[in-house]
Chains A and B, each alone.
Chain A
Amino acid sequence: MNQESNIPTKKPDVMDALLSEHARLGSGEDTALVEAILLRTVNQPLELPQPIAKASFGWQDWAKMAAAVTLFFGMTALVLHQIKGGERAETTFQLTVTYATADNQLAEPDTMPEENPAPSNRIGIVRDVTGVVAATDLKPIAPIMQVAEFTLVETTSPAELNGTFTPSIDVFEAATAGRVESFAVSANHSKRTDSALEYDGKVEVNHPEFHIQAERLVVQASSSSTASYASTGAFQAFGAIIERTLENGQVETAKADELVYKPNDQSLELTGAKMELTAGSKTLHFDNENEKLILRPNGFQVVRK
């Protein structure tokens, strides 16, 4: 027996562990764990050769040292000055909040009805032409397009979007079972076609869970193309950089040639010849075009196409 004298003995429940693990990841592999293991074993990065130490300490080095010492004493004096005065340096930011109403007119907060506060999961973020950040609780204007997995509502007035114009800010609401989420798309140029809304030129997507910058973005917004709609997701972004904050507070960025967002499982599917995923000081590179990088709220997966 291996029991330590003062440690209680229990009975392990392998089915409890199996069910918990199945609930966590289903039948697939734990890509993050596999990557972590391989990075610490067979894929360990090669150590770069150390630069050769400089033989002499030149005048440039003395100048740098003097600048550093001056900066150090300057900062110390500043901090001591503030502590002495009993004050703490504070920077105040003001967030201007406006509401967009059903007819897409921006209104001041005090004009909104107070008896019907917006549920938190229906709050989206839009960036208007002057850069004002607005919290909105837009009501659907365009008809809801029913698809197999989720519905997408364009809450901007369709009349405004005919033809090409600059700039553009459009708000969409994606609805899945029990959850509605809003996201806003802004771009220098946008164009409505029969089957989609296309954006290019400094395209930005603001979603409560992530922010995307892209060269081009397509939102499938036609009720006649529902067949491709479920597979293409809410939108496709090309030349995309995504930034999001994970549940543990860590900021993660990823780059890909193409990105698809699927609200039904809150996944971002990245594909392309060169993909990168950076968290903290570590960057993972994915060069296999047959693989798809999937970002989920609690981590990422790499799957074969």
Chain B
Amino acid sequence: MHLISAIANDVENQLSESQPDLHDPAVFGDLVRAHHRELIVYARALTRESNTANDIVQEAFIVAFDKMDTFDVTRDFPTWMRGIVRNKWREWVRKNKRYQYSDTNIAEMDADIAAWQAESAAGNRTVFDALSSCLERLPENLRETVNEFYYNDQNGEEVAEALGVSPAAIRKRLQRARELLKACVDRKISDQSLQES
């Protein structure tokens, strides 16, 4: 009986050691810092709006803090947070009646973000670092298109005018660039995971 009790305590101790104590302000702060950027990407992909995405992530962390007692320690924190972000997004969709995504699409995106969060949480380089590296490898015409559109904050027509090509060509270039970057980022993230294992 004593043995069973000791084993149970040991398991419980191991479980509590491996799971973050969300009641600890320092731990909660670290979790916010570690995961907020990937969650913003997640919320931004869902909402297509920067400010709304930030609001949703902020609200999601506040919900997590308020409901930390209900956090299931057998699940991991990033998964729990993505679930809260999704719920917040669904609330937003209901209020704003904009568009919806299929569950399959959401699941695919969820898997991407989960992989990125896992690398970041493991202390490896983040998806943003990987993206910086991948951007340097893009072909010149795609890189300058991406730079103008995303980093110089120009719309498709302005980029087309600046680069002397049609808006349709810009759309194709951006699509191609995103595909190449996605493949490159995925490769870098999976290479890191393999090195760890």
Contact = CB atoms under 8 A, between A and B. Distances in A.
Interface in A1-20: 1-4, 6-20
A43 interface: yes
Contacts of A11: 101-102, 105
B36 A37 contact: yes
A23 B128 CA distance: 10
Contact of A14 (B41, B93, B146, B153): B41
B53 to A, nearest CB: 8
Interface stretch (B2-10, B12-20, B44-52, B70-78): B44-52
A17 B41 contact: yes
Interface residues of A, number: 37
Nearest to A18: B41
Contacts of B32: 34, 37-38, 41
A42 interface: yes
A29 to B, nearest CB: 6
Interface residues of B, number: 52
Interface string A31-61: 0011011101111000000000000000000
Contacts of B181: 15, 19
A282 interface: no
Interface string A93-106: 00000000000000
A27 B150 contact: no
Contact of A7 (B44, B98, B106): B98
A22 B135 CA distance: 11
A249 interface: no
A25 B50 CA distance: 12
Given A7-B93, A37-B62, A21 B37 contact: yes
Contact of B126 (A13, A19, A27): A27
Contact of B50 (A13, A24, A34): A24
A26 interface: yes
B126 to A, nearest CB: 6
A209 interface: no
Nearest to A29: B33
Given A19-B181, A30-B40, 8 more contacts: A7-B97, A9-B101, A12-B106, A14-B113, A15-B185, A26-B132, A37-B36, A37-B58
Pairs A-B, 10 closest by C-beta atoms: A42-B25, A17-B45, A41-B65, A17-B44, A27-B128, A15-B178, A23-B150, A3-B100, A7-B100, A37-B61
